Structure 1
């Protein structure tokens, strides 16, 4: 039995979003073929994602200095606990699906907040004098990234989202990557043939993911 984490970051309703509608079809097909697997769903626009703020940094500084953790305030303790829950959820899974869209050549801010949350020290990574390293077990982990790029050109500038997520996941120990890129996220502005081609690719992937 596998544990799959399904993460979405798209403010559009599902009936207006190519990524969300296609991602939902992928998930339904995946569950049909893998009914024994456990799936956890995280909507980064709906679910509260704790940001790395001054309270969080203050706790880390105290821990690094060897101070007693009991002196942490209730507010600081709650923030750290929320970060650890997200990082532990990520650590306990071995398959990941990310359904995202581009905003100004990158992810929306909510997605970066999530990456910061799962990358906190101890649950998934640690810092050594020489380098940062993953703390995830050496088991095989895989990811699927369904991403809608902007349909508009930004002169010579490049979309950065896909390469960034792949680098972060590889660092955390996820080494098997699948990516499906869409041009634009609005269902009303895409041809039926293009949408069906992407749908076919995703459903085929669901059979072997």
Structure 2
């Protein structure tokens, strides 16, 4: 049995969200193949993400300086408890599924905020002799992303370098020890009419279902 952590980072809209539709198809296919695995889903736009601000920094400083958890204010305790829970879930997971659109060549801000909370020194990586060494070994991740432009399904290698969000996610996960990483990309959506977009989404969804069987 494996624990699968799913991070959805797409705003709720009345329209069909390509990455969410494909992600849901992936998860349905995965669950059919792995019925005994545990799947935990966090919808970052529905749930919200604790922001790293002065309150966080002050609370962390208090704990570093010897203040006990029980001596913190009720609001500080609630904030730190949620952060700790998110970190523990991230560390405990065996597999990660990130579902998001591309925003300005990068990840949605709430996904970045989430990663800032769960990727923590001494917990997910330590300083080794030759630099950071990840502590999360033998895990795997997949990034399901939609975008208006075409960055991966093209012969133009330069375009892939513009997808800095996907590159960042891969690099960050690699730093914490997650080396098995792959992406599924639903691209070129800004240039498609609704019918063509639906056809392309179906093609990518079928690809995702195939990948789910071996994930």
Scaled to the shorter chain, the TM-score interval is: 0.7 to 0.9
Residues 3 and 39, structure 1, Cα contact 8 Å, conserved in 2: yes
**Deviation larger for 167-176 or 183-192:** 183-192
**Deviation larger for 70-79 or 126-135:** 126-135
**Deviation larger for 66-75 or 93-102:** 66-75
Q: In the alignment, which residue of structure 1 is the partner of 2:147?
A: 149
Residues 16 and 188, structure 1, Cα contact 8 Å, conserved in 2: no
> So what's the TM-score if we normalise by structure 1?
0.85
Q: In the alignment, which residue of structure 1 is the partner of 2:28?
A: 28
- Structure 1 residue aligned with 2:177, among 161, 173, 176? 173
Matched pairs, number = 205
Tell me, which stretches of 5 or more residues in structure 1 are unaligned?
none
Residues 51 and 116, structure 1, Cα contact 8 Å, conserved in 2: no
Q: In the alignment, which residue of structure 1 is the partner of 2:204?
A: 198
**Deviation larger for 64-73 or 121-130:** 121-130
> So what's the TM-score if we normalise by structure 2?
0.83
Residues 88 and 123, structure 1, Cα contact 8 Å, conserved in 2: no
Structure 2 Cα separation of the partners of residues 134 and 169 of structure 1: 9
Q: In the alignment, which residue of structure 1 is the partner of 2:110?
A: 110
Residues 105 and 158, structure 1, Cα contact 8 Å, conserved in 2: yes
Task: Write 1 or 2 for the structure with the bigger share of helix.
Answer: 2
Q: In the alignment, which residue of structure 1 is the partner of 2:45?
A: 45
Structure 1 Cα separation of the partners of residues 130 and 204 of structure 2: 43
Shift of residue 159, structure 1, vs aligned partner: 2.5
Q: Secondary structure at the match of 1:16?
A: coil
Residues 101 and 185, structure 1, Cα contact 8 Å, conserved in 2: no
Structure 1 Cα separation of the partners of residues 205 and 121 of structure 2: 38
Shift of residue 147, structure 1, vs aligned partner: 0.8
Across the aligned residues of Structure 1 and Structure 2, the Cα RMSD in angstroms comes to 2.8
Shift of residue 64, structure 1, vs aligned partner: 2.9
Structure 2 Cα separation of the partners of residues 75 and 12 of structure 1: 27
Shift of residue 208, structure 1, vs aligned partner: 0.4
Tell me, which stretches of 5 or more residues in structure 2 are unaligned?
152-158
Residues 99 and 145, structure 2, Cα contact 8 Å, conserved in 1: yes
